[in-house]
Amino acid sequence: MECIFCDIGAADGGKFIYRDESVFAILDKFPSSRGHALVITRAHITDMLSATDDLVKSAFTIAREIGNRQKAVLGAETVRITTNIGKAAVQDIFHAHIHVIPFYAKPHSGFVKFQQMKEEEAGELVSLLKIQ
């Protein structure tokens, strides 16, 4: 079975905002706003309804930490933490994950919604949002 999130979780490199034995966090490749992040389960499960209580708690705890960093470091006014479950809810990768999407009072100039992020911007955002 091929899964992009399983492949990313198994890889090494500096693209991780957070990583432990149960979840990892990365920037969304096609963000809806500057700093849009994903918290992804290490175990390949279809969605958060299929996750254990401990895994849900771990994933949402990290999502909350990232949301707080988006506000503190990126200047987000507010944050949306959500998970899409099923095709009708627009889940397009069937591996459990949570979106942490910052919203700004003033949109960032030059930011194009859902356009693939440039490598240099991604590197800068990962270093700003990284959780130790």
The predicted-structure confidence for 77-101, as pLDDT tens digits, reads as follows 999 999 999 999 999 999 999 999 9
76 is a domain residue: yes
128 is a domain residue: no
User: Would you report the helix, strand and coil content of the chain in percent, each value rounded to 5?
Assistant: 35, 20, 45
Dist. CA 74–CA 70, nearest whole Å: 5
Cα dihedral sign, 3-42-96-118? negative
126 is a domain residue: no
132 is a domain residue: no
Residue 83 backbone zone (phi > 0: left; psi -120 to 50: alpha; other: beta) = beta
Residue 76 confidence class, pLDDT cut points 50, 70, 90: very high
Residue 54 confidence class, pLDDT cut points 50, 70, 90: very high
Least confident of 7-16, 46-55, 64-73: 7-16
Dist. CA 70–CA 101, nearest whole Å: 9
68 is a domain residue: yes
* pLDDT value at 30 more than 90: no
Cα dihedral sign, 120-18-108-81? positive
127 is a domain residue: no
Structural domain total, the chain: 1
Least confident of 38-42, 62-66, 102-106, 109-113: 109-113
List the CATH number of the domain containing 55: 3.30.428.10
Q: What is the pTM of this model?
A: 0.89
Q: What percent of the chain has pLDDT over 90?
A: 70
Pair 65, 72: CB distance under 8 Å = no
Dist. CA 93–CA 111, nearest whole Å: 24
Instruction: Residue 113: give the domain boundaries.
Output: 4-121
19 is a domain residue: yes
* pLDDT value at 108 more than 70: no
91 is a domain residue: yes
Residue 41 burial (CB < 10 Å; 0-12/13-18/19+)? buried
More confident residue, 116 or 129: 129
Section 104-115 average pLDDT:
65
Least confident of 9-13, 60-64, 114-118: 114-118
